[in-house]
Chain A
Amino acid sequence: MNTPPARFDAREASKWFFRHGHTGWLGLRFADQGDNWVELELPWREDLLGDSNRPVLASGPIISLMDMASGMAIWQTSGSFNPVATLDLRVDYQRPARDRASVRGRVECYRRTRSAAFVRGIAHDGDHDDPVAHVAGVFMTIGADLRAENPAFNRNNGND
C-alpha cells in the first residue's frame, strides 16, 4: 500500500485488517460498502462448523463477522479510524445458513453521538430478504469522554 487514504475506506482497510489475528483466521473478506454501511463475507470452511451432523457454519463465527462489520460500519460512517469498544451486541438467529454456504454480514451505523455508536444489520447467505440473523449493537468511542464512568473507558478497553 502507498499513502493511506485520508478518509477511512472499508475496502482499503480490509486489505490489512484481515491479514492477521482473529479475523484473518476466520478468513473474512470485504464484500461491499456504502456511506454508512459495510458488508463482509465469511467463507464456508470445514473447521468452522457448529454441528457434527450438518455442514453449516457455527454461530460463533457469525457473531465475529457481525462484530467486525459493525466496527467497520462505524468507521465508514465517521470517516475516521478511532478505536471503539463493543458494549452490547445482540444476535437473533432466524434460521441456519444453507449447507456449505458462505455468510455475508451487512451492518449500518444508524446513529452516532459524541461517545456512542448504534448499529444494526443482517447476516444472509445470498438473499438480503431472507436473513440468517438480525443484529443490533452499541459501541463506545474509546477516550471520547473522560468523564464517563463506564469501565470500558477507564481501563482503556476495546474488543476489536
Chain B
Amino acid sequence: MTDPASPHELTAYALSLGIAVCGEDNGMPLLTVEFGPTVEGRPGHFHGGATAGLLETAGYAALRTALLAAGRDPQLKPINITVQYLAAGKSRPTFALGRITRLGRRNANIAVEAWQDDRERPIATAVMNILMV
C-alpha cells in the first residue's frame, strides 16, 4: 500500500482520522492529530490503534520526503511495523515525526516518535520496514 507521491499529501484514511501536516522538522513533515471521537479508546484517552495510525502515517511521510529529495518515486509496500507504547495518550493533540534510519535501494528502515506536551517524553515509538519496488 503506498501513499500518494507528494509527502504532504495524506491518504484518505489519514485525512478521515483527522491527521494533518503542521510543520517541518529536520526537513521531515511534522504530523498532528487533535483529540476527538475518531481517536478515542478508553474514555479521555487515545486508542492504541489511532496512535499507531499516526505513527505509520508520519513514517510514510518521512520516507516520501527523503525519496523526493533523492529524485525517486517508487511504489511503497509495508513489510512490518513494531509499536512500543510508553505512556497513555491523553485528551490533547498528539504529534509525530519520522526519521530515516536507513534508505536502501529496495528497503527502508524508519523510526517514528509520537508525543504530546513534552517532546522528550514520547507516548509511543515505532520502527517500520518498507519495501520499495
The chain A residues found within 8 Å of chain B, CB to CB, are 20-26, 46-54, 56-61, 63-68, 83, 85-93, 96, 151-152, 155-160
Contact = CB atoms under 8 A, between A and B. Distances in A.
B11 A61 contact: no
Interface in B1-20: 1-4, 11-17
B13 A58 contact: yes
Binding site secondary structure of chain B? mixed
Nearest to B19: A60
A60 B17 contact: yes
Give the one of A85, A87, A92, A159 with max B CB within 10 A.
A159
Contacts of B53: 58, 60-61, 63-64
Contacts, number: 154
Nearest to A93: B78
17 contacts: A21-B47, A23-B47, A48-B12, A54-B1, A57-B13, A58-B12, A59-B78, A60-B13, A60-B53, A63-B81, A68-B49, A83-B42, A86-B48, A93-B77, A157-B85, A157-B88, A160-B47
A51 B42 contact: no
B85 A159 contact: yes
B35 to A, nearest CB: 11
Binding site secondary structure of chain A? mixed
A51 B13 CA distance: 9
A90 B45 CA distance: 21
B133 interface: no
A89 B39 CA distance: 18
A59 B48 contact: no
